[in-house]
Amino acid sequence: MADILLEIKDLKVHFPIRSTNFFGGTTQYVKAVDGVSFYIEKGETLGLVGESGSGKTTIGRSILRAIEPTEGQVTFNLDGQKVDLTQLQGKDLRAFRRHMQLIFQDPYSSLNPRMTVRDIIAEPLVASKLATGKEVDRQVREAAASCKLNLEYLRRFPHAFSGGQRQRIGIARALISRPQFVVCDESVSALDVSIQAEVLNLLMDLQAEFGFTYLFIAHDLSVVAHISKRVAVMYLGQFAELAPTKQLFYTPRHPYTEALMSAIPEVNPDVEMTPVSLKGEIPSPVNPLSGCRFHTRCLYVQDKCKTEIPQWREIEDGHFVARHFADTLALKGVTSLDSSDGMN
Amino acid sequence: MSKTTEQIERDTLLEVNDLKVSFKTDEGIIVAVDGVTFSVERGQTLGIVGESGSGKSVSVKAIMQLLPRTAIVGQESSIQWCSKNGDIIEITRLKKAGREMRRIRGGEIGMIFQEPMSSFSPVHTIGNQIMEAILQHRQVNKLEAHEIAIDMLDKVGISNPSVRVDQYSFELSGGMRQRAMIAVTLSMNPSLLIADEPTTSLDVTIQAQILELMNQLQEELGMAIIFITHNLGVIAQVADEVAVMYLGHILERGTAKEIVLQSQHPYTQSLLRAIPHLDRLGERLTAISGDIPSPLERPGGCPFHTRCEQVIAGVCDTQRPALTRISSTHTVHCFLHE
């Protein structure tokens, strides 16, 4: 097994919500992330999928300490030296931030309209005091060039660029401090199909060149499958399943994964979509259910699921699942479509 | 099926001919839709795919006469609508806020939008908004309208409709809001439903539910649908016929099968190659080079020639390709096929 870059143990992020009444206030918690453990290998891409409200973004941001985790450990392996990110404070944390970066979803609101492209890309260098003077310029040009940005445009402002170009500016900004770990939070979701392909290719090229490790969060399953080595499926603040991409897509072991896979619209009118219909919608994360969190919508629910919390366990090499009957039920993955190759 | 019913089913409901829409802006005139021709048959689903700036939304807004004031619809453009009583109405000649147009808008052609959050009023209950539509278009009193509203909510699969009817849009989740939106539209029993990216902001599982619902309602009520999306997977699943748009032009048209499996236009082909496919994991995607040209700098000749790999110099950049017929249903605008 390759080196582990990040190990997350029992991560919890709870947001307090206060409701006041005549007798004072009661505090309840939105359990956005509620006990998640996993690891990310050096140089790999871990995909993270799940419905809106499942806690994908919160996980990404709490690892980066953009949101304070409530509980748990995040161990970052910085060239052999192990650092617990949740314990870092003040100066140490600020100094550490150069090793982790975030690429945002919306290329329009994530760039300051009053800064030139050069200043935007240079900001991580300046903020971490990694370079000064001419050296900043040199590195900005290098980062911009590797993101295929036209160097003549560095003095322009973001509004002069199209969505795809803006996203490349965002990527250049993220990679200039040579981070080890990059969170891509829906980074290609707002882009058109033809532009999305280019940005995905760029992210993969940069990974090959600089050895970045990505946590790739997206709701488009085929995009996640394309870029990720392993994929985690999240449901209501917890992981339902985590496995190598092909295993997860072709032989899912969790009913929720099965439902997700069956809902992918196939780009072929001959293959009819037969979605496993989930009853209702994702329940509220304020008072999560007893037992398995998925039991209200599961097709295979049994009495045990309603009371006992399923263990997160490894059922095959690298294939994790939180489910009671993982060994007894056969589930359907995506069907292989060798004959559907209609592109001429 | 007898011949007569087949005859009726094949009837053309909507015929759009040479539609041109441009916008006056401070920087000049932007041509958003540049001579688009298509038709919708009764009970059929026409899918329109295209990226941003392709003019897909503007085209359908022209049909509904919902364009902003700065829009100019071309003089030769014609939009013919076959009304419920059998009359053929030329929509471009109608007054925007006139009686006839208001009857058609909603009453005969319904529309659902991408953002279910912003298409509802936050200060009126869901029920009120459905009732408003019913009272506008049907001869019923308030009580009856309330009953119909509950009935419609039930029909689109909202559980507990008699409670939901008195709730506000922010109390519903995204998927439920889109269902409620469909309920508003269907309560007027339109013969054509225009869906502008109805599932784009929804999760895949909810998207599958909504697509299934639309499919089932179409079978039940026999309405035609124009389905706009940028997602080729969704289009392959829902559409009978597909039109591929780029920069205000329809580049290719055909049955869903012809477009997805036997596409002839380089643009359609590259779009299909650009989407990640589960069968080809880890392979490099073939991106389309360059960016979508700015609306102020629309290229002459074939609109796609600036990004096309098979561009013929001196031909594609100077002349507009004419329509070439590949089969009785499949047409393409490309010099490679002329």
Taking the C-alpha atoms of residue B211 and residue A26, their distance in angstroms, rounded to an integer, is 42
Give the pLDDT confidence of A309-343 residue by residue, as tens digits. Answer: 888 989 888 899 988 877 777 787 776 443 333 33
Whether the per-residue pLDDT at A136 is higher than 80: the answer is yes
Give the pLDDT confidence of A79-116 residue by residue, as tens digits. Answer: 888 999 999 988 889 889 889 999 988 888 899 999 99
pLDDT attached to residue A338 = 36
Roughly what angle, to the nearest 10 degrees, separates helices A193-210 and B266-274? 40
Q: Are A296 and A282 in contact (CB under 8 A)?
A: no
List the one residue out of A34, A39, A38, A74 whose CA is nearest residue A55.
A34
Q: Which of B207, B257, B291 sits opposite A269 (nearest CB)?
A: B257
Name the residue in chain A with its Cα closest to that of B232.
A267
- For chain A positions 298-337, those within 8 Å of chain B (CB to CB) are 334, 336-337
Q: Which two tokens stand for residue A112?
A: 């300051």
Side chain identity at A116, as an amino acid letter? Answer: T
CB pair distance less than 8 Å for B275 and A264:
no
Q: How many angstroms away from the CA of A219 is the closest CA of chain B? A: 7
In order of A248, A259, A262, A278, A310, the CA distances from A298 in angstroms are 18, 9, 14, 7, 14
The whole-number average pLDDT for the span A256-283 is: 82
Name the residue in chain B with its Cα closest to that of A220.
B204
Taking the C-alpha atoms of residue A250 and residue B223, their distance in angstroms, rounded to an integer, is 37
Interface contact A265, partner B, CB < 8 A: yes
Q: A344: pLDDT confidence band, cut at 50, 70 and 90?
A: very low
- Residue numbers of chain B with a pLDDT score lower than 50: 1-9
pLDDT attached to residue A10 = 94
Phi and psi at residue A267, in whole multiples of 5°? -80, 60
Question: What is the ipTM, given to two decimal places?
Answer: 0.81
Task: With beta carbons under 8 A apart, name residues in chain B contacting A55.
Answer: none
pLDDT attached to residue A107 = 82
Whether the per-residue pLDDT at A117 is higher than 90: the answer is yes
Q: Which uninterrupted H or E stretch holds A96?
A: helix A90-96
pLDDT attached to residue A51 = 85
Q: Which of A197, A204, A267 sits opposite B233 (nearest CB)?
A: A267
List the one residue out of B99, B114, B109 whose CA is nearest residue B63.
B109
Instruction: Give chain B's domains with CATH numbers.
Output: 12-108+190-337 (3.40.50.300)
pLDDT attached to residue A335 = 62
Give the pLDDT confidence of A275-318 residue by residue, as tens digits. Answer: 777 776 778 777 777 888 888 888 888 888 888 888 898 988 88
Contacts of B132-140 with C-beta under 8 Å, sequence gap 24+, read B133/B106, B133/B184, B133/B185, B133/B187, B133/B188, B134/B187, B134/B188, B136/B102, B136/B106, B136/B107, B136/B188, B137/B103, B137/B106, B137/B107, B137/B188, B138/B188
Could you tell me which residues come within 8 angstroms of residue B135 by beta carbon, excluding any fewer than 6 positions away?
B142, B145
Give the pLDDT confidence of B148-178 residue by residue, as tens digits. Answer: 999 989 888 888 899 999 999 888 888 888 8
Q: A1: pLDDT confidence band, cut at 50, 70 and 90?
A: low
Phi and psi at residue A253, in whole multiples of 5°? -115, 0
Taking the C-alpha atoms of residue A67 and residue A76, their distance in angstroms, rounded to an integer, is 17
Q: Is A44 helix (H, G, I), strand (E, B) or coil?
A: coil
Could you say which DSSP state residue A277 is in?
A: P
Q: Which of B212, B232, B274 sits opposite A197 (nearest CB)?
A: B274
Q: How many angstroms away from the CA of B274 is the closest CA of chain A? A: 5
Averaged pLDDT score across all residues of chain B: 88
Taking the C-alpha atoms of residue A202 and residue A200, their distance in angstroms, rounded to an integer, is 5
Whether the per-residue pLDDT at A190 is higher than 90: the answer is no
Sketch the domain layout of chain A as residue ranges: 241-337
Burial B63-97 (b: 16+ CB within 10 A, else e): bbbebeeebebbeebbbbbbeeeeeebebbebeee
Name the residue in chain A with its Cα closest to that of B265.
A344
CA dihedral of residues A214, A216, A222, A227 (deg, nearest 10): -10
Interface contact B288, partner A, CB < 8 A: yes
Name the residue in chain B with its Cα closest to that of A267.
B233
Whether the per-residue pLDDT at A162 is higher than 60: the answer is yes
- Highest average pLDDT, of A157-166, A238-247, A275-284, B175-184, comes from A238-247
Whether the per-residue pLDDT at A263 is higher than 50: the answer is yes
Task: With beta carbons under 8 A apart, name residues in chain B contacting A275.
Answer: 205, 208-209, 212
pLDDT attached to residue B200 = 81
Four-residue CA torsion sign, B17, B23, B27, B28: positive
Q: How many angstroms away from the CA of A128 is the closest CA of chain B? A: 33
Taking the C-alpha atoms of residue B288 and residue B311, their distance in angstroms, rounded to an integer, is 13
- For chain A positions 179-198, those within 8 Å of chain B (CB to CB) are 192-198
Percent of chain B's residues with pLDDT above 70: 96
Q: Are A199 and A136 in contact (CB under 8 A)?
A: no
In order of A63, A215, A289, the CA distances from A99 in angstroms are 12, 14, 37
